[in-house]
Amino acid sequence: SKHFHVGPAGWFGRRIGGAVLRAVDDVSLRIMPGETLGLVGESGCGKSTLGRLLIRLLEASDGHVLFDGADITGLAPKQLRETRRGMQIVFQDPYGALNPRMTVEDIVMEPLVIHGAKPDAAARDKVAAMLERVGLSARAASRFPHEFSGGQRQRIGIARALILRPRFIVCDEAVSALDVSVQAQIVNLLQDLQQEMGLTYLFIAHDLSVVRHISDRVAVMYLGRIVELARKEELYAAPLHPYTQALLAAVPAPHPAGRAARRAARLRVAGDMPSAINPPPGCRFHTRCPHAMAICREVAPPLAETAPGHLAACHLLTKTH
């Protein structure tokens, strides 16, 4: 079947000193073609790692990643390069991701050249068409990244990500650094492009109102694990996991205006997230959960279907206590 899938035992390990940081642990996730799956959670919970793992910018230490139903986990570099055409990433900080010494034309053309195209007139035409499509003028081609605003730079980043006509895009905090009005423009652009080009998005963000706007389904991540996954209407109206409930309770009324409200809309949960190097045993949320029971300190709750299409990992919901 055609989908993007990581799991069932996929994790990404990174050694820090002698310890292994299991930034993403035992995550199983399926992304359907044409959908936008939102991925939320506090910074450091493993969202970005999961996104990079899916497109194999990082290697999973265990488990599998399927793309269009094919296992891409063990691909040799040459095959992987072919697969990569189909999957791209848009970063939070386009300025950091764009080479300041390259013109916009060269930046957007580079993926074509890496994949074997000649930097000729036909390639330049493709770049010009893509720049126009993302809302930049033809004159942008000969300029350098520093000559553009944050929103325009994000359009350059999007043009670069789309030039190979991929089907799957990881948007990693793609609008988080932008002002609210600019955010809306970029989100609208991403939605238009999705329609036109049949794109599938993994939309990683810590801002729950933006995720609500753009996503079809939303996954909530805590300390390297998915704790809840549901259609967005259901997740926002009736969150089941205590962590999701806490996140949503911290968000003020929709349509926050101004910087203060926007800051307040960011994820906020009492207490600090424990270290991912030495995560709490049992339910990883038990050190902060108002409902923690004895079993929570010992047994990790499985991510189980509580209603059709609604998954949550909490002992309160699975009647195992």
Binding site for Mg ion (CB under 5 A): 48
286's contact among ligand SF4, Mg ion, none, with CB below 5 to 8 A by partner kind, is ligand SF4
Q: What is the dihedral of CA 48, 54, 58, 59, to 10 degrees?
A: 140
Nearer to ligand SF4, 48 or 244 (CB): 244
Tokens representing 133 are 């499509």
301's contact among ligand SF4, Mg ion, none, with CB below 5 to 8 A by partner kind, is ligand SF4
Exposure string over 102-131, b if 16+ CB within 10 A, otherwise e: eebbbbbbbbbeeeeeeeeeebeebbbebb
Find the binder of ligand SF4 among 251, 283, 303, 311 (CB under 6 A): 283
Please give the angle made by the CA atoms of 302, 49 and 2, to the nearest 5 degrees.
70
Interacting residues with ligand SF4 between 242 and 271 (CB under 6 A) = 242
Tokens representing 111 are 């993926």
296's contact among Mg ion, ligand SF4, none, with CB below 5 to 8 A by partner kind, is ligand SF4
Nearer to ligand SF4, 104 or 240 (CB): 240
Looking at 69-77, 103-111, 201-209, 312-320, which segment touches ligand SF4 (CB under 6 A)?
312-320
Alpha-carbon distance 207 to 185, whole Å? 16
Nearer to ligand SF4, 224 or 242 (CB): 242
Find the binder of ligand SF4 among 117, 248, 261, 292 (CB under 6 A): 292
Q: How far is the CB of 297 from ligand SF4 (least distance, A)?
A: 8
Nearer to ligand SF4, 148 or 243 (CB): 243
Beta strands 217-222 and 36-40 are: parallel
Mapping DSSP onto H, E and C, the string for 148-208 reads: CCHHHHHHHHHHHHHCCCCCEEEEECCCCCCCHHHHHHHHHHHHHHHHHHCCEEEEECCEH
Please give the angle made by the CA atoms of 31, 253 and 213, to the nearest 5 degrees.
25
Q: How far is the CB of 316 from ligand SF4 (least distance, A)?
A: 5
Q: Is 301 in the site for ligand SF4 (CB under 6 A)?
A: yes
Q: How far is the CB of 63 from ligand SF4 (least distance, A)?
A: 23
Nearer to Mg ion, 48 or 244 (CB): 48
Alpha-carbon distance 128 to 216, whole Å? 31
Q: Is 225 in the site for ligand SF4 (CB under 6 A)?
A: no
48's contact among ligand SF4, Mg ion, none, with CB below 5 to 8 A by partner kind, is Mg ion
Q: Is 286 in the site for ligand SF4 (CB under 6 A)?
A: yes
Beta strands 310-312 and 304-307 are: antiparallel
Supply the DSSP string of 221-269, one letter for each residue. Answer: EETTEEEEEEEHHHHHHS--SHHHHHHHHTS-SSS--HHHHHHHHB---
Q: How far is the CB of 270 from ligand SF4 (least distance, A)?
A: 13
Exposure string over 142-163, b if 16+ CB within 10 A, otherwise e: ebebeebeebbbbbbbbbbbbb
Nearer to Mg ion, 48 or 154 (CB): 48
Q: Which residues bind ligand SF4 (CB under 6 A)?
A: 241-242, 283, 285-286, 289, 291-293, 296, 301, 314-316
